[in-house]
Structure 1
Amino acid sequence: MSNQYEDIKQRLRGSICPVITPFKANGDIDFEKQAELIEYQLENGTHGISVTGTSGEPSSLTTEERVQVMENAMKAIDGRVPFAPGTGSVNHDETMYLTKKAEEMGADAAMVIVPYYNKPNQEALYQHFKTVADSVDLPIIIYNIPGRTAQNMTVQTMARLVKDCPNIVGAKESNKDFEHVNRVMLHCGRDFLLYSGIELLCYPMLAIGGAGSISATANVEPAKVAEMHDAWEAGDIKRAQDLHFELMNLNDVLFKDTNPAPVKAALGMMGMIEPVLRMPMGLPSEELQEEIKETLVEYGKLAKQNS
């Protein structure tokens, strides 16, 4: 791996929170609230920030809005932790444009999702990612989430990209097939930055040498998600295991509906945002919202009398 990317490979580790995109009641982006959410993350030990990934509802944003969200986040972070915005899209040219914008504004890396809906074959995926990677001198993190894209990047395709593109430094694997994840690490190299996007695999990912997690749960419980990584790094395996199981009920309830709907409902209950999603997304059922509320009380995020 080229030495020019070694610094970011050392820094871009731990809990990278995929911060949601807050909207006002009328559906406009609430940039002031976004800055407050980022501050909340940094105050609670989060190691890095991402925006406009799946949790940020990128398909509900215009290209211009995505750039504005990235720029506002960059300003709020102010260099305190690494910044790796999501720049991928179903559209190749838009992905190229947003990734170049991320480079121009000084982001530390760009997270590029496997294109969703159109299901490119493996050769097409290779060509798409290689073209994007070759167009910038910016570290690229592949975002593989077959449950939402309907296509899984194979280990062979990922390893080929890593071999041919020195700036492809890692992958967020939102892949429940942990055998696949192990083989990614084997074939892409032990220094490859592998992040879990599956909440119940965040701890197991550390055990095989992963770089950390990009977990939507960190929006709600940033301190414990970050502490799990810190405990592992400090060699306190028992504490890391305990946090893994402590977080399980919250992880479960936040994924009983499509992300980020439960997360936004939770943050709304906590008084941190207006719980607004842009259509076609919508809030969870009243029944699930009540379950989320009870879980937040359990985790000390809401006072019992407010439940």
Structure 2
Amino acid sequence: MSYDEAKKRFRGSISPVITPFHQDESIDYVKFQELINWHIASGSHGISVTGTSGEPSSMSIEEREKVMETACKTVNGRVPFLPGTGSTNHQETLRMTKAAQEMGADGAMVIVPYYNKPNQHALYKHFKAVADSVDIPIILYNIPGRTAVNLEAVTISRLAEDCPNIIGVKESNKDFEHVNKVLLKCGRDFNLYSGIEVLCYPMLAIGGAGHISATANVAPKEVADIFNKWEAGDVKGAQDMHYEMMPLNDVLFRDTNPAPAKSALGMMGKIEPVLRKPLDVPSMEIQEEIRDTLVTYQLIKEDVHTI
């Protein structure tokens, strides 16, 4: 598959699937596979794992690679598979991105290194080295709220020009002026994905390729339908879905992602709502709000209780 073909294929709602754990915090691979199959059956256009929602910084490298491999085999080519392979450590990022290629992933999503706060030239060198190390498509992942540094549009443009396999960026960035400049500088055939739930529809309107939204963990069909309606030319329908999803988006970010999503999935009977330390479940007050919202969306029955 050429990089131009990848740009056309990697469109829509790419679900950033959570990593389910047992009560002892070991990975529940059975539930993990069930979640992936549910996402695909619900109409998700792609699958990503070991991104922010997957708690990768709480896993060992070996665990991350096993989760990626399990997901790759489960997806089995039904939709594009784009695992998160980034780390705060450059050599680890190279290792996991190469592993993604070797296991047959369709591409890789590589986060801006967190905690280190590299400057723009350092970010360019980091991402170029990663892109040069593989032949698969690379999606950059810009999330300044987590990484403490913004990957500037001019740096993204420079990387896209110098690395033909860098075909897009996930922008978890509330600065809508910035994301407009990304497409202006990179060209409108560059794949722009929203990682901010309230911007999933607006980014489609400026030429985005889709979204990678944590809300898809709880409502994969509805999140995919925002893209489906837009793609079909049903602008009002896409707008309606945008506003319909806002209360659910809000409640799923009352606490640090993926804690609310895992609580919701626990109430829905999909997983044990376990997070690895230092994360923990939301307060009872937030859990009650999550429960009431899920009832409103008819995702659970009224007799379901909090965890």
Please classify the TM superposition score into its range, dividing by the shorter chain length. Answer: over 0.9
Q: Which residue of 2 aligns with 1:288?
A: 286
Q: Which residue of 2 aligns with 1:256?
A: 254
Structure-2 separation of matches of 1:305 and 1:150: 42
TM-score by length of 2: 0.98
SS of the residue 1:305 aligns to: coil
Q: Which residue of 1 aligns with 2:185?
A: 187
Shift of 1:7: 1.6
Structure 2 residue corresponding to 1:232, chosen from 230, 244, 259:
230
Structure-2 separation of matches of 1:125 and 1:73: 28
Structure-1 separation of matches of 2:303 and 2:71: 34
Counterparts of 1:86-105 in structure 2, within 5 Å, are 86-105=84-103
Q: Which residue of 1 aligns with 2:20?
A: 22
Alignment of 1:47 onto 2:49: no
Structure-2 separation of matches of 1:151 and 1:138: 26
Letter in 2 for 1:8: A
Structure-2 separation of matches of 1:255 and 1:156: 30
Q: Which residue of 2 aligns with 1:205?
A: 203
Structure 1 residue corresponding to 2:115, chosen from 89, 94, 117:
117
Structure-1 separation of matches of 2:122 and 2:250: 35
Alignment of 1:168 onto 2:166: yes
Counterparts of 1:144-159 in structure 2, within 5 Å, are 144-159=142-157
Structure-2 separation of matches of 1:75 and 1:131: 27
Q: Which residue of 2 aligns with 1:85?
A: 83
Structure-2 separation of matches of 1:5 and 1:260: 31
Structure-2 separation of matches of 1:109 and 1:208: 24
Shift of 1:8: 1.3
Q: Which residue of 1 aligns with 2:105?
A: 107
Letter in 1 for 2:270: M
Shift of 1:4: 2.2
Structure-1 separation of matches of 2:23 and 2:272: 6
Q: Which residue of 1 aligns with 2:63?
A: 65
The one-character-per-residue Cα deviations of 1:161-198 (angstroms, maximum 9, x if unpaired) are 11100000000000000000000011011100000000
TM-score by length of 1: 0.98
Shift of 1:306: 2.2
The one-character-per-residue Cα deviations of 1:91-131 (angstroms, maximum 9, x if unpaired) are 00000000000000111110000000110011100000000
Which ranges in structure 2 are unaligned for 5 or more consecutive residues? none
Residue 267 of structure 2 contacts residue 304 of structure 2 at CA under 8 Å; is this kept in 1?
no
Percent of residue pairs identical: 67
Residue 156 of structure 2 contacts residue 186 of structure 2 at CA under 8 Å; is this kept in 1?
yes
- What RMSD over aligned residues (CA atoms) do the two structures have, in Å? 0.8
Q: Which residue of 1 aligns with 2:265?
A: 267
Alignment of 1:135 onto 2:133: yes
Which ranges in structure 1 are unaligned for 5 or more consecutive residues? none
Q: Which residue of 2 aligns with 1:243?
A: 241
Aligned residues: 305
Shift of 1:305: 2.4
Shift of 1:260: 0.3
Structure-2 separation of matches of 1:134 and 1:306: 50
Structure-1 separation of matches of 2:182 and 2:281: 35
Q: Which residue of 2 aligns with 1:36?
A: 34
Structure 1 residue corresponding to 2:8, chosen from 7, 10, 16:
10
Structure-1 separation of matches of 2:161 and 2:303: 56
